[in-house]
Amino acid sequence: MNNAISLAKAYEKYFKIGAAVSVNNIDSYRDLLIRHFNSITPENDMKYSATEPEEGKFTFDNADKVVAAARDMGIKVRAHAPVWHNQTGEWMYKDGDKPAPPELVYERIDRHTKALCERYNKDVYAWDVVNEAVIDEQAKDQIGDSDTYRFSEYFKLCREGFIEAAFRSMDKYSPDAQLFYNDYSECDPTKRARIIRLIRTLQDKGCRIDGFGMQQHYFAKPDYDELKRSIEEYAALGLRLHITELDVNLMATVEHGAQRLKPGDPGFEEYIREVMSPTPEKLAEIENIYIRLFEIYRSYSDVIDCVTTWGVADDYTWLDYFGMKKDRPRIKQYPLLFNVDRSPKACVKTLIEAAE
């Protein structure tokens, strides 16, 4: 590929091209990031466990390094997921030996948000304010008394009030950045309806919510019609859309239905055998999926402002470690746009040519 060719440059008239990075790899990816990306998401370094592991004890070292590296490269930051049911210390939910009352949870969210914003507002153009607060279809037996919200520790203590509190605090302390709600399985019709219900509730309460983050983790073959339908329904709420965590699992190259296979599911053992040694055809299918997805993203560039892959290159991806029992061999995944050696896959040239 010609050294002058850049994925981000080719897509300037459509949307930003982003990647999730960590303090452990952002420097080693520097050349690739400068050339092909114009947005960076800290993968885990801005979450509560990383930035406030104990109440009032702020540990910004890793986030500082990511933001400083992004600034040095001239790339703005799409900040990720301070309020999430995972990677949050138990202190958030406790008042001594008792459960924390909602007002104390809101106060803690506000204080943490203030600290984040005062430190990073100059470099951040968008926040995933709240992450994954909607319940999954497969978790119905855990819904408590809600058919919309995840039965998290936040919800047990505050009902859905913690979502409103998070958005109001972020609006107060980061008035110039875009504020997003972020979630996965967002193209599943049932969950899509729940996400829309959450967003409308925030809008009805007068909360500023500028956009929705469509994660786009593909564990099964994409339903392209549902993707288009989902984009249209979320955009109809008056929101800007970001594709926030895009990757294509090897599972998406195996015919097994519309949902992610898990250990114990019918067909899981066959899947394991099939993807332990992926064929060139299966790896090519991942690239074909990217080509089709970007074709759709381009067609909706009037409402999509950014497309972010969850990782930079195949040498490091969370999917290598996700969803497998400890006694299973690791299944190497190839879910991103750049190879293990960090060279661009053939589809990158196709994506660039399609944008010109």
For the annotated catalytic residues, the residue numbers are 132, 245
H/E element, 80: strand 76-84
| Amino acid residing at 280 | P
Going from the C-alpha of 38 to that of each of 131, 168, 323, 349, the distances in angstroms are 23, 28, 31, 18
φ, ψ for residue 158 (rounded to 5)?
Answer: -125, 0
Query: Among 252, 253, 275, 283, which Cα is nearest to 345's?
Result: 283
Cα 207 to Cα 168: distance, rounded to the nearest angstrom: 6
The beta-carbon contacts of 134-137 under 8 Å, at least 24 apart in sequence, are 134/183, 134/191, 134/194, 134/195, 134/198, 135/194, 136/185, 136/191, 137/185, 137/188, 137/190, 137/191
The rounded distance, in Å, linking the Cα atoms of 9 and 349 is: 13
DSSP state of 54: B
Pairing of strands 94-95, 98-99: antiparallel
Annotate 122-142 with b (16+ C-beta within 10 A) or e (fewer).
ebbbbbbbbbbbbbbeeeeee
DSSP state of 257: -
Residue corresponding to tokens 């978790």: 139
Q: Which residues are registered as beta bridge partners of 83? A: 130
| DSSP-assigned letters across all residues of 149-210 | B---HHHHHHTTHHHHHHHHHHHHH-TTSEEEEEESSTTSHHHHHHHHHHHHHHHHTT----
The DSSP-derived string for 15-35 is: -EEEEEE-TTTTTTTHHHHHH
